[in-house]
Structure 1
Amino acid sequence: MSRDRFNILDILRVIGGLLFFNAILSYWFTSDTTWGYHGKYINWRFYKYKLLQNKFNLTLDELSNYDGVKNNQILLSINGSVYDVSSNWPVYGPKGTYHNLVAKDASRVFITGCFMKPDEYTYDLRGLDPEECESDIKKWQEYFNNHQKYWYVGDVELQYDDFENKEPPEPCEHMKFPGMQN
């Protein structure tokens, strides 16, 4: 019995064969089945978020649960924009260099670069140059939006009235991250 047309199963077989052949060639030339690409577009968590989850709208208390200890997901916030940085566990995870930046909005430290001052890990930008704040926050948000491993997942509601009766953090000598100019 012969067939005159392709059906959906035949199309899936051809696509599967092409993907398999592509993976074999990639491994042959690069010793990696993805031609050396390890970004968000081959990360199952990215597709799980895009297909199954709604955009997060968190409070600061809810955000504090996403530190890699209480929750397997690691979220970082800059001026209210929340990014999933779980794919870089060695850097942002519990023993990572930048673990102090996660599970909170630490906008101020992204601007000042003063990692050694615990009071800098806040979204209180009072006492800083507004133009510098706007410029640096925009650059950091672009960095996380365009990074191959990180993606935007929602927003956190910032409580600016918490700072009404408090003094802003003491000024520190700004130490910009590499590549960030004043």
Structure 2
Amino acid sequence: MADTEPTVRQRKPKTTANDASDSSDASEPELVKVKTVSPTHKLEKEDAYNPIVDIFRVLTFLFVASCGLSYLISGGETWTWGMKNPPKYLQKDWWESQWRGPLHLTPAQLSAYDGTDETKPIYLAINGTIYDVSANRRTYGPGGSYHFFAGRDASRAYVTGCFAEDTTPDMRGAEEMYLPLDDPEVDRHWTAEQLRELRKKERAEAKRRVHEALKHWVDFFAKSKKYRMVGYVVMEEGWKKTTPRRKLCDSAQQGRTKRKIPGQEEFTQGSA
């Protein structure tokens, strides 16, 4: 029997990475690398600065804030600054007057602001203080119901109600409209001394009433949201000495009554 050589099985040698790459170059197609985006890169892209968005946010905020401020300042009148009588600090003329200071006008200079010249504001004065009433040109301008107040200090007329006659700042004698008329039949109920003291009290009370009547209108213009103070009237020194004392106007004179006889007023009230 012939000797036979034993068969030896050999393992295939392991291929290395270099061998695999070398063998695949010829037979396998080249792979295309796909670029992937990392989560960090995505976040950076989403947070990229966009100026248009910021501008829109700022404009929206300013609009809303403006509407709210308009509502508060106007006392609920408007959301869009369409106020009929805006606050003084929102008016151009008010800032100009603050910059230049108050005006000082003589009566002759003040008369030029009576509304006949539409290029000028309308001024009136009361108790020496000048106010701009241009916001109510229909009333204080030519043809208006209170045009006689424009361009002058007509303090006396505010108290007596004689608009045509008393367009003057001279208040001397205006208290007479509150004084009772003398009547011999009534006045005989007092002695001469009592009547003197009574007349002093009556005149003091009449002057107080004149002061209160004038103060009412002074406060009206001073507190008005529509009209603004612009200056003062400059009167000539000693002007009252050179100005004749004015008589009480007919309308105010007709409103005067006789003194009440002591006890008569209580009797009348009791009868009522």
Report whether the alignment pairs 1:56 with 2:133: no
Offset, 1:36: 7.9
Question: Is 1:164 the equivalent of 2:212?
Answer: no
Aligned residue runs from structure 1 range 39-118, under 5 A: 39-41=85-87, 44-70=91-117, 71-117=119-165
Which of the numbers 164, 173, 189 marks the counterpart of 1:127?
173
C-alpha separation between the residues in 1 aligned to 2:210 and 2:240?
17
Q: Which has the larger radius of gyration?
A: 2
The RMSD of aligned alpha carbons is 3.5
CA distance in 1, matches of 2:99, 2:57: 29
Aligned residue among 6, 11, 16 for 2:63: 16
Runs of at least 5 residues in structure 2 that lack an aligned partner in the other structure: 1-47, 71-75, 176-206, 254-272
**Distance in 2 separating the partners of 1:103 and 1:114:** 17
**Given residue 137 of structure 2, which amino acid in structure 1 is its aligned partner?**
W
Determine the structure 2 residue equivalent to 1:179: none
Give the counterpart letter for 2:232 in structure 1.
Answer: D
Number of corresponding residues: 164
Q: Which segment drifts farther, 61-70 or 166-175?
A: 166-175
Contact 1:40 1:46 in 2 (8 A): no
Q: 1:124 to 1:69 in 2, by over 3 A?
A: same
Higher RCO (Cα < 8 Å, 6 or more apart): 1
* TM superposition score normalised by structure 2: 0.50
Q: Which one has a larger percent strand, Structure 1 or Structure 2?
A: 1
Q: TM-score, normalised by structure 1?
A: 0.72
Structure holding more helix per residue: 2
Amino acid at match of 1:147: S
Q: Partner of 1:151 in structure 2?
A: 228
Identity of aligned residues (%): 29
SS in 2 for 1:64: helix
- Which residue of structure 2 aligns with residue 174 of structure 1? 252
Identify the residue that residue 203 of structure 2 maps to in structure 1: none
